[in-house]
Chain A
Amino acid sequence: MFELKRKLAAFAAVTALVVGLPVTAGAQDQIKVGILSHDTGPFAQNGRGFHRGIEVYQALHGKSAGGREIEFVYRDIGGPNPAVGKRLAEELIVREKVHILGGFALSSEALAVGPIVEQTKTPAITFIASSPSVLAGSQYFLKSGQHIAQSSSAGATFARKQGAEKCYIVVSDYQPGYDAQKAFRKTFESAGGQIVGEVRVPLNTVDFAAIVEGIASTETDCINVFVPPGAPAIGLLRALAERGLVESNFVVGMGEAEDHILPQYDDSVVGFKGALYYAEALDNEENKTFIAKLKELYGPDTQPDFASASAYDGAHLIYEMVKSQEGKDWSGPDAVEAVKGLSWNGVRGPMKIDPETRELVQNIYLREVQKVDGKLQNAIVDQLEAVEAPSKEWMEN
C-alpha cells in the first residue's frame, strides 16, 4: 500500500515537473487543448458533436486568441470505459503536453480523470458529463453542459405548469438515471404533484413493451423519462407512442428526440417534450450563426444537437481562458480563476459561470415535437430563465 502511494507520488511529481517545465520557460505561443472524445462505440454521436462544435467555432473565430495559437488534439475513448479515459488524459497531459482538457461525454470519465486534473492543475471543461459530483472532482473543472438536475427539475416544473397531477418516472438503472429521477421527484412533489410510480429499467432492456404496459395500467397524466440516447431512447419512446401514452400524457424527457434523431420515429412521437439547456430552434444570433456555419461545413442536411452546441460553447470558454492570460506566462489555475463569474451569450442563450459553485446558470427550454409541413421538428414551447444548479445538500436529501 505504502509502496503504491510512493509510486503515485513519484508519478505526480514527474508529471508536475513535465507539465510545469514550459511554464518556467516563458510565454509560449501555442496552447494545446486535449479533447477526450468518442469517435467509435455507442457514444460516437457525442464525439461527432464535439468535433463539429469545435470546428465550427474555429471556422468562425479563428485559430488563435490572446496572441496564442490554439490547437485541438483528440483522443477516442471508444466506449463506456473510464479507465481508458484516464490513461488517455495522462497521455495528453504528459506526452502531448496539453494545457487544457475538454470533452467528457460521460460523468464516469470526468470522475476518473479528476485526480489527474487536480494534481497537474490542468483546467478541464466537461462538455456533457452532468453528474452532480463532477465538479467536486477537482477545482480546475468547469462545465459547458449542465447539472443534470437543472433539466430534470425544469421538466417537473413545466409538467406542473401544464397542470400535470400524477406522474410516472421511468429511468435507466444507472447513476445519471438515479440523479434525474431524484431531481424530478423532489421538484414535482414540492410543487404539489404526486408521483404514482417509479421504475428503474435495466440498461440491457431491448423490448420496452412490458415496462410501458405497467405504466399504462396506472392512472397517470404525466410520464418522465431518462434513458441513454440511442437504441434505449428510441425503444422506450416508440413503445410509449405505440401504446398511445405520448398522446394521452405529458411525456417529458431531455435529449431523447432531438431534431437529428426525429427521422427514426414515426408520427406517434408528436407531442413528446424535452427539457434541456439547448434547443435547435433557438432564435438568437449566436445559434443562427452556429447553425449556418455547421450546414456550410457539413452539408445542408446537418442538424445541430446538444453535443455540438456544448462543444461550441465549451470552445468559447476555452478561448476566453486563453485570452485572460494574454501577455502573461500560461497558468491553468489563473485561467480558471479568470473565467469564474464570466457571463456571455452562447448558442443556448445567456449563460454564466457561478463563481461559487462553478456550475452554469442558464435557461432551460421546453421543446415539443411537432409536425410542420409534413416534417417532424422540435419547437420551443416554454422556457425557464437563469436556472441555477441545486446545492449538494438539495441533491442529497
Chain B
Amino acid sequence: MEQFLASLAFIVLYGGTYGAVLFIISVGLVMTMGLMRVPNLAHGAFAALGGYLTILLMNQAGMHYFVAVPAAVILVAALGALAERAIYVRLYNIPELDQILLTVGIAFIFVGGLALTFGPNVFTIRLPEVLSGSVDLFGRSFPVYRVFLLAVGALIILGFWLVFDRTTLGAKLRAAVDNRSMAQATGINVERIVMLAFAAGTGLAALGGAIGAGLFPLEPLYPIKYLTIILIIVALSGFGNIKSSIVVAMVVGIADTAARYYLPELGGFAIYALVIAAVAMRPAGMFARQG
C-alpha cells in the first residue's frame, strides 16, 4: 500500500510537471487557433527560439537565469508580434493547405537556422543553484526544478484567469474567439487583439521552451520533434478553449507518465490511444461545449 501511494504521488507530481510544461508551450497555439484559425505549425519553433535565446543571453551576455528567461520571452513575443504583422496576417484568407505549407516551411527554416547557428548538438540550460537541489514532499525527495515548473504553470493559469475573466481585454478576446465579425461590428479592434494574442502565445511558447529545457532538451529538430505532442494538446482542447487546455495538458502529462511507469514498453503509445478515443468520441475537444 505504501509502495502504491508512493508511486501515485510520483505519477501525479511528475506527470503534473510534464503537463505544466506542455500547457505553457501549447496554450498559445490553442489561443491563436481559436482567434485566427491558422494552424501555426511553426509554433514549436518559437518555443525552441525561447530556449536558445536564453542560452545565448546566459552565455554571451552573462545574464542570470532569472533575467535571461524573461528577456528571451519578451524578445520572442516581440518577434511574434512582428511575424504576425508581416507574415501571418496574409494567411487568414487563404486555403488551409497553403497555411499549413507556409507555416511548416517556417518551422523548417528555423530547424535549418538553428543547426547553422548552434550546431547539431543538444543543448540544455544550466539551472541556477536555487533550482538544482531537491525538497521533501509527500515523504519522498522531489527536485526543486519540478516544483518550480509546477509553480510557473500555476502562475500562468492564474494569469489567464485574471486576464480572461476580470479584464475588458479578456472579454474582447473571448468575444473575438466566439464570433469575430460580431466582435468587429461592436467596435472591438480585432486585429490588434489578434496581434497581442499572437505575441502572448509565442511568448508563452518561448517561456515553455526556456524553463522546460530540462524535460525537452534543445536541439535543431525541436520545432518538428515536439509538434506532435503540441498538436495533440490543441486537438484535444478544441480551438480557443483555454480552460480545457489546462485540464487536457494535465491529463496528457499524467496519463503519459502513469502509462510509462506501469507499462514501460507500451506506455509511450498509451497517449495515442487516448487521443484516438477522445477524438472519436468528442471531435470538438475533450471538454468542448456540446451543441
Contacts and interface: CB of A to CB of B under 8 A. Distances in A.
Contact of B219 (A47, A202, A231): A231
A333 to B, nearest CB: 36
Interface string B102-121: 00000000001001000111
A199 interface: yes
A48 B120 contact: yes
B143 A173 contact: no
B257 interface: yes
A228 to B, nearest CB: 11
B96 to A, nearest CB: 27
A40 B132 CA distance: 33
Given A231-B122, A264-B123, A210 B14 contact: yes
Contacts of B141: 244
Nearest to B11: A210
A114 B11 CA distance: 46
Contact of B122 (A40, A47, A206, A264): A264
Chain B CB within 10 A, most for which of A47, A205, A213, A230: A213
A48 B126 CA distance: 25
A356 interface: no
A86 interface: no
Contacts of B143: 242
A273 interface: no
A185 interface: no
A266 interface: yes
A265 B10 CA distance: 23
Contacts of A234: 122, 124, 217
A211 interface: yes
Interface size range of chain B in the complex: 35 or more
B136 interface: no
Contact of B265 (A41, A173, A213, A260): A173
A40 B264 CA distance: 31
A44 B264 contact: no
B216 interface: yes
B62 interface: no
Interface string B264-288: 1101110000000000000000000
Interface string B128-162: 00001010000001010000000000000000000
A255 to B, nearest CB: 13
A238 B124 contact: yes
- Chain A interface size, as a band, is 20 to 34
B120 A45 contact: yes
Contacts of A211: 260-261, 264
A192 to B, nearest CB: 27
B18 interface: yes
Contacts of B120: 40-42, 44-45, 47-48
A213 B121 contact: no
Interface in A23-43: 40-42
B268 A213 contact: no
B268 A202 contact: yes
A235 to B, nearest CB: 6
A235 B213 CA distance: 10
Contacts of A162: none
Contacts of A214: 261, 264
Interface string B6-19: 01001100100010
User: Which of B112, B122, B219, B269 has the most chain A CB within a 10 Å cutoff?
Assistant: B122
B127 interface: yes
A264 B14 contact: no
B215 A213 contact: no
A397 interface: no
B221 A213 contact: no
Most A CB atoms within 10 A — which of B3, B214, B260? Answer: B260
Interface in B242-273: 256-258, 260-261, 264-265, 267-269
A230 B219 contact: yes
Contacts of B10: 209-210, 213
Given A205-B260, A206-B229, A230-B219, 7 more contacts: A44-B120, A210-B10, A210-B257, A211-B260, A213-B14, A230-B217, A264-B123
6 contacts: A41-B221, A44-B120, A206-B226, A209-B18, A210-B11, A242-B134
The 8 closest A-B pairs by CB, nearest first: A202-B268, A44-B120, A210-B260, A210-B261, A231-B217, A199-B264, A209-B14, A264-B124
